[in-house]
Structure formats: C-alpha cells, structure tokens
Chains A and B, each alone.
Chain A
Amino acid sequence: EAGVTQFPSHSVIEKGQTVTLRCDPISGHDNLYWYRRVMGKEIKFLLHFVKESKQDESGMPNNRFLAERTGGTYSTLKVQPAELEDSGVYFCASSPLGQARAYEQYFGPGTRLTVT
C-alpha cells in the first residue's frame, strides 16, 4: 500500500511568487490534514479536510494560503504571494474516517519550501 505522497519535495521561489504544493493521501483515507514546521518551531496544524469539505481551517495563517481538495482525493495548497516567513516544511497527513479519531495520522515526507 502506497503511503502519503507529496510533490514537490523541495521548492525554491522568490518572494511574491506563487507556489502550489500537492498531497496524495493513502487510498481510501477521507481525512486529509496539512501541517507545517517553520524554522526552529514545532509542527503546527493548518487545516483538515473530510473528503472534499474543509472541516477545520483554524490554523491557516492568512488569506494568502488556499487549500483545495476537489473530488475528495488529492489536495493542493497554494501560497500566493509567498513571503519570506512562509519558508518551512509543509506536511500532509491522512487517516481513515470512522471510529472517530481512533486512527493514527499517517504523514507524508513533506515539501520543503524556501522563499528567497
């Protein structure tokens, strides 16, 4: 069974540019989460999809970040325009639906974003 995959693994962009990160969850996992770790800080939650619906987006830092999950499969996280403080590692995770919160969240390898 394939794990959570993320693309690209590393992205370097200039301030003001746009970047789109992609996450493919484990097949059949209806829950999809985005987290990020900025330099020297702990990993922090960004948002949670259940299928194609946003369940919780309380961690999204501002309106420069837009997450989508059309069709309830893969998800994208767009940062537009990127700022220096957006640099960090963006993780995606997924888990099955049902037996609420009894399941582990399975994490992808992350996308390292560097804004120069």
Chain B
Amino acid sequence: KQEVTQIPAALSVPEGENLVLNCSFTDSAIYNLQWFRQDPGKGLTSLLLIQSSQREQTSGRLNASLDKSSGRSTLYIAASQPGDSATYLCAVLKSYNTDKLIFGTGTRLQVFP
C-alpha cells in the first residue's frame, strides 16, 4: 500500500531564506508526482508535475526533484516571501492503471517579514 509522508509538518522561516520541503513515498512504482499549495480556506493550486522519467521540474523560484528509486521528492523554494505562506502538499499517481492521486498530509509553511 502506497503511503506518502511529508516532513516537516510545519515550518516557520524569515523572509529571504531558501528552503526545502520533503516528500517520501513507500512504493517507487509511481507514474508521476505533483506538488500543490493550498491557501487557508481555498482549493489546491498545482505547482509542478514531475513524470516518473524526469528528475526535476522548475517554475520560477520553485524547483522540484524526484528520486524514484529512493522514494523521495523535494520542493525547493528560493528566496522565500511572505506570499509563499501556505500548506504544501505532494501527491503521487500510483501506477499505470489508475488516476488516483495519493496525498501526503502536507507541510504548513509560514514566511514572516
């Protein structure tokens, strides 16, 4: 059974810091991995999608890496800003015959000025 874990559960940093959020999964047989952010009371916004054949994806100040063999993904946020404060979720698409995303419990990030 696939399980997805995110560490840390919460993180508070001063503005300007570079930071790394971690996501690990127990079954390396994934099709892709998606990072989302969720603002309080809002829906999920997709940030990056990494296919299983890819090693990383970049969008602006965000960089996500994927190491399938070790069951890990990291989301790197450069030069953090207060507007980055949100909950960050990773989710894996398990295998070829399902579209079911399996989510981690998230990392709650606060960036203070």
Contacts and interface: CB of A to CB of B under 8 A. Distances in A.
A109 to B, nearest CB: 4
A65 interface: no
Contact of B98 (A41, A56, A102, A103): A56
A73 interface: no
A66 B98 CA distance: 20
Specify which of B44, B102, B104, B105 lies most central, judged by the most chain A CB atoms within 10 Å of its CB: B44
Interface residues of B, number: 25
Contact of B43 (A33, A91, A102): A91
Interface in A21-38: 31, 33, 35
B4 interface: yes
Nearest to B104: A42
Q: Chain A interface: which size bin? A: 20 to 34
B30 to A, nearest CB: 10
A31 B99 contact: yes
Interface stretch (B13-21, B31-39, B75-83): B31-39
B103 interface: yes
Contacts of A42: 4, 103-106
B89 A101 contact: no
Interface string A87-113: 000010101000011111111111000
Interface of A: 4, 6, 31, 33, 35, 41-45, 48, 55-56, 58-59, 91, 93, 95, 100-110
